[in-house]
Amino acid sequence: SNPPLSDQRAVPCMVMRGGTSRGPFFLESDLPTDAMERDRVLLAAMGSPDPRQIDGLGGAHPLTSKVGIVRRSTTPGVDLDFLFAQLQPDNDTVDVTPNCGNMLAAVLPFALERGLLPVAHGTTTARILTLNTGMQCDVTLQTPNGRLQYGGDARIDGVPGTASPISINFLDTAGSVCPALLPTGAPLDRIAVRGADFEIDATLIDNGMPMVLVRASDFGITGYEPAAELTSSVELRARLEALRLAAGPLMGLGDVSAKNYPKMCLISAPRDGGAVNTRCFIPHVCHDSIGVLAAVTVATACVLPGTIADGIAATQPGVRQTLSIEHPTGEFSVELELDPNNPGQVLRAALLRTARPIMRGEVMIPAHF
């Protein structure tokens, strides 16, 4: 459908909000098959690299520099394959190694809108395979009378208003990118940060997202500061980055200087009745709320004995727990089901998101890019 009157290339896409993230979603068949050529198209579509992304769709923030690519799955038992790509405003990376649970929430609505799957009556459930790490989940949408319903009463902090609930059930998140849930084998490590010359306690953990959890107080902050204030602290960012670079190899991730993980999370005691309070760096900017799999990973640390959350987090006993993770703009509730025979083992994580198409059409790719 290239308009003959233009030298630009038109690529069909829908701009979707998924949870607290936003970005264009593409059918895999609408993008170049060659990965390098595909990445060049994605960079041009988003307007990266440029801090303002003025020549593209990006929103000048990592949370609005995300792309979803979807296809019907050929894996038995799986309905849809999802590839997530993290771009950045200020560099030319297209990272398909991490997961994103927020963009994941928009996959099924997009697939139904584009006719990849039929809409059922009442609710529609699909199994989605995230190709980035091989993680599977079941997602359920409200589809009364066989029609997608975006309006509803569900509220998620970090997004204004209310919308129809989308439930996500994660089936196998432990060690998504790292070799294991606790990649060093220990719930708590004392890490010597060479060069920066300090030692610090940290929990290195991956239950869907590789993360380094530290006490906010060990960084001389309360942990309740606004996200923008923490992002603008040059010294805090330098210390967190030095720790991140030291943690990468310990987590089996190698040199992480050019990677978007591990994410850094400063934790402190809850103060609004939740399980724990958080400030996450993703990894260089403080998140305005918290990532989906980041919340699952933090919640998991709260129920594991001996982690950095021990003595800080407020948890209840029981094999089914709802943990409210406090963050800069509210809270994120994660329901965990623990193995009754091995309480350190999380069998299932469930949570609620909302999502919606914002625009559908074609993104225009310049002739020379």
In the complex, which residues of this chain contact ligand NQM (CB under 6 A)? 20-21, 62-63, 99-102, 209, 263, 282, 287, 291-294
Shortest Cβ contact with ligand NQM: which residue? 291
Cis peptide before 76 (omega within 30 of 0): no
Beta strands in the chain (DSSP E): 9-18, 21-27, 66-72, 80-86, 122-130, 135-143, 166-170, 189-193, 198-206, 210-215, 263-268, 276-281, 320-327, 330-339, 342-353, 355-365
Q: In angstroms, give the least distance from the CB of 105 to ligand NQM.
A: 9
Partners of residue 15 on adjacent β-strands:
24, 359
Q: Closer to ligand NQM at the Cβ: 96 or 119?
A: 96
Q: Closer to ligand NQM at the Cβ: 20 or 321?
A: 20
Q: Closer to ligand NQM at the Cβ: 94 or 209?
A: 209
Q: In angstroms, give the least distance from the CB of 110 to ligand NQM.
A: 16
Q: Closer to ligand NQM at the Cβ: 182 or 282?
A: 282
Q: Closer to ligand NQM at the Cβ: 132 or 268?
A: 132
Q: Closer to ligand NQM at the Cβ: 100 or 204?
A: 100
Q: In angstroms, give the least distance from the CB of 15 to ligand NQM.
A: 15
H helices of the chain, in order, are 35-46, 101-104, 107-113, 227-231, 234-250, 292-303
Quote the CA–CA distance of 337 and 125 in Å, as a whole number.
Answer: 20
CA distances from 123 to 105, 138, 139, 146 (A): 15, 12, 10, 8
Quote the CA–CA distance of 344 and 183 in Å, as a whole number.
Answer: 15
Q: Closer to ligand NQM at the Cβ: 100 or 216?
A: 100
Structure tokens of 208? 């869907």
Nearest 10 degrees: CA dihedral of 158, 164, 169, 173? -30
Q: In angstroms, give the least distance from the CB of 287 to ligand NQM.
A: 6
Q: In angstroms, give the least distance from the CB of 284 to ligand NQM.
A: 10
Q: In angstroms, give the least distance from the CB of 293 to ligand NQM.
A: 3
Q: Closer to ligand NQM at the Cβ: 140 or 329?
A: 329
Q: In angstroms, give the least distance from the CB of 69 to ligand NQM.
A: 16
Q: Closer to ligand NQM at the Cβ: 196 or 245?
A: 245
- Of the candidates 31, 18, 10, the one whose C-alpha atom is nearest the C-alpha of residue 158 is 18
Q: In angstroms, give the least distance from the CB of 285 to ligand NQM.
A: 9
Quote the CA–CA distance of 55 and 46 in Å, as a whole number.
Answer: 8
With 0-12 / 13-18 / 19 or more C-beta atoms within 10 angstroms meaning exposed / middle / buried, residue 317 is exposed
Residue type, 5: L
Q: In angstroms, give the least distance from the CB of 260 to ligand NQM.
A: 6
